[in-house]
Each structure stands twice: as C-alpha cells, then as structure tokens.
Amino acid sequence: MGLLSTKVTCNSHGQDSSYFLGWQEYEKNPYDRVMNPEGIIQMGLAENQLSFDLLESWLDKNPDAAGFKSAGKSIFRELALFQDYHGLPAFKNALVDFMAEIRGNAVTFDPDHIVLTAGSTSANETLVFCLGEQGDAFLIPTPYYPAFDRDLKWRTGVEIVPIQCSSSNNFQITESALREACEEAKKRNLRVKGVLVTNPSNPLGTTLSRDELNLLIDFINEKNIHLISDEIYSGTVFSSPSFISVMEILEERNYHKDSHPDVWDRVHVVYSLSKDLGLPGFRVGAIYSENNTVVAAATKMSSFGLVSSQTQYLLSALLGDKKFTKKYISKNQKRLKRRQNMLVSGLQKAGINCLNSNAGLFCWVDMRHLLQSNTFDAEMELWKQIVYEVRLNISPGSSFHCTEPGWFRVCFANLSQDTLNLAIKRLKSFVAESSPSGAHHSRESSKTRSLTNWVFRLSSRVREQEER
Amino acid sequence: MGFGNESHGLLSRMAVNDQHGENSAYFDGWKAYDRDPFHPTHNPHGVLQMGLAENQLCFDLIQEWMRNHPEASICTPEGLHHFSDVAIFQDYHGLPKFTKGVANFMSKVRGGKVKFDESRVVMSGGATGANEVIMFCLADPGDAFLIPTPYYPAYARDLCWRTGVQIVPVHCDSSNNFQITRDALERAYKKAEEDNINVKGLLLTNPSNPLGTTLDRETMKSLVTFINEKNIHLVCDEIYAATVFSTPSFVSVSEIIQDMEFCNKDLIHIVYSLSKDMGFPGFRVGIIYSYNDIVVSCARKMSSFGLVSSQTQHMLADMLLDDDFVDKFLAESSQRLAKRHSLFTMGLEKMGITCLPSNAGLFCWMNLRSLLKEQTVEGEMKLWRVIVNEVKLNISPGSSFSCSESGWFRVCFANMDDETVKVALRRIEVFVGKEGEKAKNVIKRRQRTTGLRVNSSSSKRFDESWLMSPHSTHIMSPHSPIPHSPLVKVT
C-alpha cells in the first residue's frame, strides 16, 4: 500500500516522452537574435503569435472592456464575485457566434449547450469523464497530439486505442483502419465508447474530408458509440478545402434533432481560443454537445476548472465585436498561409517535402529519406542531430504515435519571419552536409551516441509548456 | 439519454449518478432566493441571501489599488505592452511573480511566522480544484479521508465524485463547542479499519466552515502527532486564514510543523485560495502547497486541468507583492469582519439567540435548537423551510454540513451591507417574537383546556399545527444551486 496514489507513480501523464525532452534542451540553450544567435530555435511549439497586433489595437480602442467597465460603470465587484458555472451569458453568446462564423455560418450553436472549461485540456478530460470509465477505450487516429495520453487517460482510467493511418493515402482515416482498431480494443478487453478526432489535425495540418467525416458518422452509428471532434484549430484553416465541421455533416444528412436525437446525443465538439486567437494563457476551452445529460454533468464538472470571470468579460467584448472578428479571422488566416508557404518552399529547396496541408500552425515534414534506416531508432538519431547540431527543436513523429518513422512536426507560427528563414537555412546546410560522405557521417554518429545517454537521463525539472 | 446506473450505458456512471451532491435539499434555499431575490428598493420583501459565504467587505481597497496600478492590467495603455507575453504564457509553473506573490501573501496572512517556498506553490481551479487534485494525488478509489463534522457540503463533490475517494465523518458536537478530540479521531479510525476502509488521511478546514472557529495550538499539535503515528496524510484547507478577526490568532499547520522535529513533512499539505480572504471567487485562484516533493510534482502536472488565467496571475502578482497594500488590506479586512460579526451576533443576542463563539469566517453558527419541535433532521428541515419561505432568509441548515446535532444553522454576514444585516435582524426579531407569542397562546390554550398552569421554561415552544400552516409552500426540486448574479441579467 503506497503512501501516495497510483496516479502519482504511473506515468500516464506521458511527460517522460521524448517530445518533452526537446523542451529541456531548448530551455538550456534558447535562440535569441542578439544574446544567443547560435542557440536552439523553438519549432516544437504550436502557438499562434502572428496576430497579436490585431488584438492589441482592439484593446487600445476599447478601454471599457479593458478597465472592468460596462457603459463607463465599474463592474469589478460583480466580476470578482461571479463564479456561476453556467458562465457569463454575454461571453457564451459571443463565443458561439464566433464558432459559427469560423464555420462560415453553415452551423449554428446554442449557447445553452456550451460548457466552459479551463482550456481544451480540461474540456477533453471532462468529456471523457462523462462518456467513459475504467475498462473503456477511445479510438484515435495516429498521428495524434501527445498530451492526449495525459488528458484522456491519466485520471479517468480510460484507454486509447490507435487507428493506424499511413502516408500511403496521406494519413487519411479508412474503414479498415477503424475496424482493425476495434479488433485491437477487443483483444485488449476494452469496451469502445467512442472515436476522437482532431479536425483540423494536429500534427498533420489537414482538415478531414467529407468522405472521412461521413465514414466516421456511419461507423459511430453502426457501433452506437460517441464521436468527439476536437476543433481547436478550426480558425486556422488558410486554404482549400475549406473546413467542414462534423456538425455540418449531421445537418447535411438531415439528422434533425427531433427525428434523430440519438446521433445528436453522441456527437460532441471541443473548442478553445488558444490556437485561433493565440491566447493559451487565458485558459478558455469549451465543450459543445446536444446531449443534455452530458451538458449537465460537464457543467458541474467544470467547477474544477472554470474560466476566470475577468477573462470571460474581456473576451465577451472582443468576440462580441463582429467587425473585429471578421477582420481578425481573415487576416489571421492570410498570415498563416504566407508563413506556411515560406516554410514549405524553404524546405523544398532543401529537398524536403511536407504533407500537403491547409490548416494548423505547423507542417508535417517528411524526412524519411534522411534516416539511416527505416526505424524509430534512426528517427531518434536524426532528431538528436537536428536538436543538437542543427539546433532546431522540432517534434519527432514517434511522440505523436506515428506508425512510420521519419516524419517530424515543425511549427511556423511561433517565431518571427527572420528566425524562420534562419531555421530553414540551417536545415538546408545540414541536408547538404549530410549527403554521402562516410567520414563525416561517422563523426556525426559518435557525437550522437554520446548524446544518447545524456538525453535519456530524466531531469527533475522539465519545463513543460502546454503544447499541441 | 444516459442509461441510469448500468455500467454499459451510453454515458459513464459518473455522468448520471448524483454523487456531485447538487440534488441535496440544501439547494432549495437558492431556488427560493433566485425566484424572489431581495433588493433594498426594488424588492424589499424578497429573500435575503445569507447562505453565501462571500467576502464583500473590502472591494474598495482592491479597486483603489487597481486604479493606482493600471499597469497590472494587460489591457490598459500602461499595461498593454505585456499583453502578448502574458496571453501566450501557459507554463504550469505559473508566472514567477505570481507564485512569489502568493508565497508572500500566505506568509503575511500568518503574521510572517512562516516563510513559504514559491517553488511549492501549485495552481488549481479554485480551492474546488485544489481539493480534488490533492485527493487524486494522495488516494485511490475506495480509499478514505477522515473529516470532522460539520463540514463544507461541497466536499462530497470535490473530494469524492470523480476520485472515488470516500469521506469518513468524525462527529463533533456542541458538548465541547464542536472541537475535535483525539478520542473521536481514534474511534473513527478504528471503526474504519474494522470496516476494511483504507484511511489515507485527515482533512481539516482551519478556520472552520461552518463553525468560524480556529484550531488552537495544542489541538493542532495533537492532530499532527496523530497522523504521524498512523502514517496518514494531513490536508489543511486554510481558505479562511485571513478572515480571522479576533483572538485566538490563527495557527497554521505550517507554523506547527516548524517546531515538531519528528513530523514527517511528506504528510503535510495545505489547500488555499483567494476566494474568501480577498473576495475574488470569480477569478478562480486556487493553490496547493505541499511539503512533499512528489506531490508537488504530480499536482503541478495535474494543474494543467485548471490553471489560473495568466491575465489574472499578472493582475494579482504585483498586488500580492505590494507589502504596504497587503498589510493595510489584512488589517482593515479583519477589522471590518470583526465589526460585522459583532453587529450581527449582538443583534441576535438581544433576541435570545446565541451563536457558537467564533473568531473567524464569513458566517456564524447559529443555535436554533430551542425552536425545534423535534430534535431531528426532519424537525430542523421543517424549521428551515419556514425560515426560507416565511421569514425569507436563505440560511443553511446544519444537516447539509453533515452535523450530527439538529438545530444549528450557518448564517453568512459578509456578503451584504450593514443596512441589509439590520433588515435580516429585524425579520428574525419579528419571527422570534411571533413564535414567542404563539407559544404563549398555545400554552394558555392548554392551560384553559386542562386547567393546569404550565410553566413555560422557554417562550420558544411551538405547536406542530403552526409548522404546517397553509402558508408554507411545497419545495420543488432544485436545478442550479448557483444564485443569479446581476451580470446574468445585464446581458
């Protein structure tokens, strides 16, 4: 009988993964244009830093929202006391409008069906607490966001069974992959409660096609299970095909809420302002569901992670300004597109291809041709070289549970244009130097061998960032 | 949908059971208030909200500080240049200035007698989140924590709902002013052992909610000794630490363990929040402070599920580090609470109603036992319904705090102004007077019918028929226990 709980000693929080070790390296030797120009460039952080100027200029023009005032009168007291887990109505209204706007108003959301949570980290966990328990599993297509292992499994006791996707069809979800995942769950004695997809995908940067969405709906109907669609990147779609939310598919199929209540009871959307607005620090997440029992239970559970009232108030004003949101969504997408193009074309010049993407804050980069062998060990070796020699913190595909070695996620929206150009330059040099030259290779390999031991020694202080 | 209690239902059992505790009749009072909320001019006969332990006495001090420090907000011209750095910041170690500020504030609240290490300050979604996280770290499903009664009703949700942990109550009663005794603890622990329940720790709320009392030094020492002997954890919820307004002064567990060399510090954990001491429940600032390194590390990872908004961290950091402000605030807050407590309890005394002597908290533990027809939970609930529906005061019945003795009620006094307190007192006076009259009439009637002279030793005995008067309405089942805020109507 341990002194502490089993949750403390197990490592379902997933923070021992290599994904987080890259952070450690970056923290020790962070790039700075002036102070540390040889340092490691952070490209493992899916943050959107491209559009703060738009937010700041709005704040400049709207002192009331900034100063806890409503029509000039101070509402500090009311905000300080407001802890109603139903959330600030003005904020929920503005949020659902924003969500609809991102979807080209092809879908509308009912503010009474939104549950506010402390980030989508909390939204995902809360939904799983409501839908599953020990002995249950959720199917998730690979590659997927590493922290799902923590968010969905750690405290809930629920398991994840991967739906294996491959580059042969650009990592799209297939029916056979879905069925295989079900079989796998059965073998592991797990009851499948649902499928969770991230749309647009992290790390792929692609949106789910209409076919994939229809396949998923058919599948969950057949099995009478849930579908959770994490649409945290929905506002980052910058080129065609345009974003299709699962909610749109339900509407298209004429699944009216009255005639087909059961399917509406099993489809849930997760959202957050961390990526689209670039505000991860504010901890604004949301669950959307037409299932009243889920909404009721999730609302109560949100007590464990409510959104700060002052943040709700600020954002209700910001998102309530429709002129602003229209301008923001459009400009932000244009900037993301330009940035992605820069990275893609830069990498191409180095002979490196990316998966064709139309969304997200990152590219899914194909470095298979740079591997010594088609193995995950080789992927780790390559990754270490990139971190220590090229001095870029990028994320290895294995940390996303990718079944094929050699893919890396590289972020492009959390650094300046100049820094991005420098990163591309470094990678280009590395690729050029890496072309066949035995002596050179063996020098590199011995360096990385000595690094292996060092990297896998766990530090007591991993500065984790809420990475997606 | 949701298929009842089957384990193979569409939803989890957790989603459909009522372990969240919000179906308790306790929340009926909220409903009555929601339907008919008091307002001094718009609705002077409405229900007074005295079931809400909020501290509304010192907003002026905080607002003054914020007016003088516009740079604390990331939205003002003075603070805007911090906006992007703060908006991006989601490191679960917290903004360094913020954790430093919290450590500093916690130390000041304890009169500077303890120093807190900012690297042990872990954020959480309010104390609600903190209590749940600490349970996830210390206990597995089926394990138990001992908790002295009466205790905060929402512990059932916070400690048990999603964690699977159970509460073993340690009953305290008025025979010794509800103090926890070593004896009561030993008995509860032994019984749990006999019932094959694995006790992982003891949880104390100090100062106590709902009693409003603090634990004295000797008791604290004996409790620390107890948990060390049993090798179980001690979680001290010190959320009301700065609401101590008179002697004895607050003795935190952090102070006690400084002088106890044999104490295994790995067993000691503090839960804190700014919701009561500063009156900011909306900002969701919860803190876990543990002396156990592994717990700090684990709780920190779990804090991802309930971090404090960086906007809020930034705003509060400078405030909490402003020693002049903190000293002034703590002193002033204490004084105002003392005054308010006195106004209320003295007013009650004049009508013959006593409260448990208290030195802290935002409420009184009011003794209405003599008004009960039966000394039972039903008797208490009957009286409570009258108070809610006829006297129009939403106060909290002791049974909702798992109190083993009927007739006690928690009455909050810091969430309103002086005038409203006087309105409350007047209503109670009328109620008590009426009941006194009725009791006298009942006695006279009995005297006439039986020809006997009965000496009424208390003017507060009641005829049951009065309690079932046609005026008492049937209580509907509750939906949301959370009261409407003006912000809800403002939209």
Rounded CA separation A246/A248 (Å): 5
Among the partner-chain residues B87, B266, B306, the one whose CB lies closest to the CB of A278 is B87
Is B463 among the catalytic positions? Answer: no
Q: What does the pLDDT average to over B106-130? A: 97
> How distant is the Cα of A159 from the closest Cα of chain B, in angstroms?
14
| pLDDT level of residue A63 (50, 70, 90 thresholds) | confident
Res. A366: pLDDT tops 70: yes
In the block, tokens 């709320």 appear at: B205
Q: Which amino acid is at B488?
A: V
Q: Bigger pLDDT: A315 or B443?
A: A315
pLDDT score recorded for residue A254: 80
Looking at A212-216, B56-60, B131-135, which range is the least confident one?
A: B56-60
Tell me if A79 sits within 8 A of A308, measured CB to CB: no
Catalogue the E-assigned strands of B180-273: 199-205, 233-237, 268-273
Is B85 among the catalytic positions? Answer: no
pLDDT score recorded for residue B460: 34
Is A19 among the catalytic positions? Answer: no
| pLDDT level of residue A414 (50, 70, 90 thresholds) | very high
Mapped to the 3 state alphabet, what secondary structure does A230-259 carry? ECCCHHHCCCCCCCCCHHHHHHHCCCCCCC
Res. A232: pLDDT tops 70: yes
Confirm or reject contact between A224 and chain B (CB < 8 A): yes
Number of H helices and E strands in chain B, helices first, is 17, 13
Q: Are strands A191-198 and A136-141 parallel, antiparallel or unpaired?
A: parallel
Rounded CA separation A334/A384 (Å): 33
Confirm or reject contact between A257 and chain B (CB < 8 A): no
Res. A451: pLDDT tops 70: no
B183 exposed, middle or buried (CB, 10 Å; 0-12, 13-18, 19+)?
A: exposed
Tell me if B233 sits within 8 A of B227, measured CB to CB: yes
> How distant is the Cα of B452 from the closest Cα of chain A, in angstroms?
57
pLDDT score recorded for residue B8: 60
Instruction: Using alpha carbons only, give the angle B34, B35, B39 rounded to the nearest 5 degrees.
Output: 75
pLDDT tens per residue across span A261-307: 789 999 999 999 999 999 999 999 999 999 999 999 999 999 999 99
Contacts of B470 (CB under 8 A, 6+ apart): none
Nearest Cα to A274, choosing from A309, A306, A233? A233
Res. A446: pLDDT tops 80: no
**Neighbour count for residue A39 (Cβ, 10 Å):** 15
Res. A258: pLDDT tops 70: yes
pLDDT score recorded for residue B285: 95
Closest chain B CA to residue A298: B15
Rounded CA separation B75/A67 (Å): 7
Res. A70: pLDDT tops 50: yes
Is A233 among the catalytic positions? Answer: no
Residues of chain A with pLDDT > 70: what percent? 90
In the block, tokens 């929340």 appear at: B27
DSSP A2: -
Rounded CA separation B162/B168 (Å): 17
Rounded CA separation A82/A76 (Å): 10
Q: What does the pLDDT average to over B223-249? A: 97
Residue B409 parent element (H or E): strand B408-412
| pLDDT level of residue A396 (50, 70, 90 thresholds) | very high
Mutate to test the interface with A, among B85, B88, B491 (most CBs of A within 10 A): B88
Catalytic one of A145, A255, A271, A288? A145
Q: What does the pLDDT average to over B395-416? A: 96
pLDDT score recorded for residue A68: 74
Res. A15: pLDDT tops 90: no
Rounded CA separation A239/B279 (Å): 47
**Neighbour count for residue A167 (Cβ, 10 Å):** 15
pLDDT score recorded for residue B456: 37
Q: What does the pLDDT average to over B335-352? A: 96
Among the partner-chain residues A76, A265, A305, the one whose CB lies closest to the CB of B129 is A305
| pLDDT level of residue B435 (50, 70, 90 thresholds) | confident
Residue B434 CA, chain-centre distance (Å), reads 31
Q: Up-side HSE of residue A314: CA atoms within 13 Å toward CB?
A: 28
Residue A211 CA, chain-centre distance (Å), reads 22
Q: What is the pTM of this model?
A: 0.89
Looking at A70-79, A143-152, B242-251, which range is the least confident one?
A: A70-79
Q: For all residues of chain A together, what is the average pLDDT?
A: 90
Q: Bigger pLDDT: A409 or B18?
A: A409
pLDDT score recorded for residue A440: 47
Alpha-carbon dihedral angle through residues B206, B211, B217, B218, given to the nearest 10 degrees: -120
Q: What is the ipTM of this complex?
A: 0.89
Contacts of B67 (CB under 8 A, 6+ apart): none
Q: Are the Cβ atoms of A305 and B305 closer than 8 angstroms?
A: yes
Q: Are strands A392-393 and A285-289 parallel, antiparallel or unpaired?
A: unpaired
Q: What would the two tokens of residue B182 be?
A: 């070593």
Helix (H, G, I), strand (E, B) or coil at A276: coil
In the block, tokens 């994904």 appear at: A19
Contacts of A282 (CB under 8 A, 6+ apart): A273, A274, A307, A308, A311, A315, B87, B309, B310, B311
Nearest Cα to A301, choosing from A173, A78, A166, A123? A123
DSSP A105: T
Tell me if A367 sits within 8 A of A410, measured CB to CB: no
Residues in chain B: 491
Instruction: Using alpha carbons only, give the angle A59, A92, A58 rounded to the nearest 5 degrees.
Output: 10
Q: What does the pLDDT average to over A116-129? A: 97
Q: Up-side HSE of residue B20: CA atoms within 13 Å toward CB?
A: 23
Res. A457: pLDDT tops 90: no
pLDDT score recorded for residue B401: 96
Among the partner-chain residues A63, A74, A129, the one whose CB lies closest to the CB of B162 is A129
Res. A398: pLDDT tops 80: yes
pLDDT tens per residue across span B269-310: 999 999 999 999 999 999 999 999 999 999 999 999 999 999
Q: What would the two tokens of residue A447 be?
A: 């360096």
Instruction: Using alpha carbons only, give the angle B232, B234, B235 rounded to the nearest 5 degrees.
Output: 135
Q: What would the two tokens of residue A177 be?
A: 């992959």
pLDDT score recorded for residue A343: 97
Among the partner-chain residues A52, A60, A93, the one whose CB lies closest to the CB of B84 is A52
**Neighbour count for residue B259 (Cβ, 10 Å):** 9
| pLDDT level of residue A454 (50, 70, 90 thresholds) | very low
Q: Which amino acid is at A87?
A: G
pLDDT score recorded for residue B475: 26
